[in-house]
A = this chain, B = another copy of it.
Amino acid sequence: MSKLKLHPDRFFDPNPAVRKIAREIYNTIKSMPIVSPHGHVDPSIFAENKPFPNPTQLFLIPDHYIYRMLYSQGLATIEELGIPDVNGNVYESDPKKIWKIFASNYYLFNGTPSGVWLDYEFSKVFGIKEKLNEKNAFKIYDQLQAKINSKSFLPRTLFDKFNIEALTTTDAAYDNLEHHKSIKDSGWKGKIVPCFRPDGVTDLSNPKWKENLVLLEKSVGYKITNYKKFVHALEERREFFKSMGATSTDHGVFSPYTHELTLKKAESIFQNALKNKSTGEDAKLFTAHMLMEMARMSIDDGLTMQIHPGSYRNHNEIIYNKFGLDKGCDIPMQTEFTFNLKELLNKYGNNKNLTVIIFTLDETAYSRELAPLAGHYPAMKLGPAWWFHDSIEGMTRYRQMVTETAGFYNTVGFNDDTRAFVSIPARHDVARRVDSNFLAGLVAKHIISKNEALLLAKELTYNLVKKAYKL
């Protein structure tokens, strides 16, 4: 049996001088409230506040970073891991059978952020004392199940215990935000804020575009027969989202290409789409144009704009066709920013009332394109290390490659970007440790003073994110 005990100095540089400073910095920020400005937690869990069903449903099923690893090793098919197919059918419904596969192969997560987060969740959140393995699989399953069943592990109770000041969800443009409303109406004080993500209706290449447009029509209560009405509907929805507490929008795009079309051209592309005649070029131009429009609207309504480009979604078509979106088959790709963002930044980037936060999965852009752009344009800020780079090495590389050109103040703190609610404190803890350690390194190398580092730690943990997202 191997004990599960988190070391208080974990992730810090082994050098005693750096470690001592890192610990000192970390101690001043570790208990600060969590501001989570971007993520994918389902708001219904707080609206309903029901117990999570079982450990497998809590840890594995919603987390494609976990079953992706098991799948990559040929240990089980996606269906054997209990993932429902596109029709909602579940091939394997015995949660313990799935848990056994997970537990027996838990060593695969050694050295990965998933492993680090899971250890934290098991140890700090659920009080588990042993490292999960084949032998103790069911013992730990039962321990987790007991906790899950208790009142102190209800979603709202955990939210408060996690010290979350604000949690932003991600919501389609046509979403009625019923869960957000019911949370408000419930009188519970937890701040759960929506984020306006219109990709479903701005991406003409989405096979469900027409269906989504109908949903948008329903949400505004009128037919959207032309481009002008489409834009008007989006403006109305942004207003609605804002009235429900939203402070930001999010745009997941294939490429960060930005380009303003003439009204006539936009209309003609939109009419083609209505007739199911969109071409790939149409879709590309329309997305580029809608990014321009969203920046314009953000200047009007003050919503912070986020752009998340560069993921080849559903790369594995067999899995996609059978199980749908978000099954761990999204693969990053080379992404160009200097040319692609030029039109948006030239038109709106000098406006200091706008905040456009850019993310990348292509780390080569950090020092080459993104830090120089963020270090110049007042409107542009650089989002934190994203997705596969939300990791100890990934966040360290981010600071190393970004800071010297953009400084700390053109960045915006941490995003956990997760679907897995109970992983939130684990993820923020890792980010706080990595930042503390990076700052400690600067102090130990006499690049900044300890007082400067202590002040910066608070900025990176709390102040910058609150400011950038107006939370």
- A residues with a Cβ closer than 8 A to B are 2, 6-7, 9-15, 17-18, 68-69, 71-74, 107-113, 115-116, 312, 315-319, 328-334, 336, 338-339, 342, 345-346, 349-350, 352, 361-364, 367-369, 371-378, 380, 388-389, 391-394, 397, 400-401, 403-410, 441-442, 444-449, 451-452, 455-456
**This chain: how many copies in the complex?**
3
CB-CB < 8 A to A334: which residues of B?
336, 338, 364, 368
**Contacts A12-B445, A349-B316, A445-B12 known; A333 to B338 CB distance under 8 Å?**
yes
CA distance A319 to B376 in the complex (A): 11
Evaluate contact between B444 and A14: CB separation under 8 angstroms. Answer: yes
Can you list the 7 inter-chain pairs with the closest CB atoms, starting with the nearest? A74-B352, A7-B446, A10-B446, A14-B444, A391-B404, A74-B378, A333-B338
CA distance A321 to B433 in the complex (A): 45
Known A111-B407, A315-B373, A397-B400; further 14 A-B contacts with Cβ < 8 A:
A14-B18, A14-B445, A71-B376, A72-B378, A73-B409, A108-B409, A110-B407, A111-B404, A113-B404, A315-B376, A316-B376, A331-B376, A363-B367, A392-B404
Given contacts A15-B14, A331-B373, whether A448 and B378 have CB atoms under 8 Å apart is no
**A339–B312 touching, CB < 8 Å:** yes
* 22 sampled A-B residue pairs with Cβ under 8 A: A13-B445, A14-B17, A14-B18, A14-B441, A71-B378, A72-B378, A72-B406, A73-B410, A107-B452, A112-B403, A315-B376, A317-B346, A318-B350, A328-B376, A333-B339, A362-B368, A367-B388, A367-B394, A372-B388, A388-B404, A391-B405, A397-B400
Which of A374, A400, A447, A452 has most chain B Cβ within 10 Å?
A447
B residues less than 8 Å from A15 (CB atoms): 14-15
Given contacts A72-B376, A333-B368, A368-B361, whether A11 and B312 have CB atoms under 8 Å apart is no
Q: How far is the CA of A329 from the CA of B375 in the complex (A)?
A: 9
Q: Which residues of B lie under 8 Å from residue A69 when comparing CB positions? A: 375, 407
Contact A407–B109 (Cβ < 8 Å): yes
B316 touches A377 (CB 8 A): yes
Tell me, rounded to whole Å, the shortest Cβ–Cβ distance linking A290 to chain B.
Answer: 22
The interface residues of chain B lying within 8 Å CB-to-CB of A367 are 363, 388-389, 394
Establish whether residues B12 and A447, one from each chain, have CB atoms under 8 Å apart when the complex forms. Answer: no
Residues of B within 8 A of A116 (CB): 447
- Judge whether B332 and A315 touch: CB under 8 Å: no
A331 engages B372 (CB within 8 Å):
yes
Name the CB-closest residue of B to A372.
B331
Tell me the complex Cα distance, A400–B331, Å.
19
Q: Please determine whether A400 and B393 come into contact, CB atoms closer than 8 angstroms.
A: yes
Residues in B with CB closer than 8 Å to A328 are 375-376
**A343 to chain B: closest CB distance in Å?**
10
A346 close to B318 (CB less than 8 A): yes
Q: What chain B residues lie within 8 Å of A380 (beta carbons)?
A: 72
Closest to A351 in B: B74
CA gap between A318 and B364 in the complex, in Å: 27
* Closest CB in chain B relative to A374 CB, distance in Å: 7
Q: Could you say which residues of chain B place their CB within 8 Å of the CB of A336?
A: 333-334
Q: Do residues A368 and B364 form an inter-chain contact, with CB atoms below 8 A?
A: yes
Q: Which B residues touch A388, using CB under 8 A?
A: 367, 371-372, 404-405
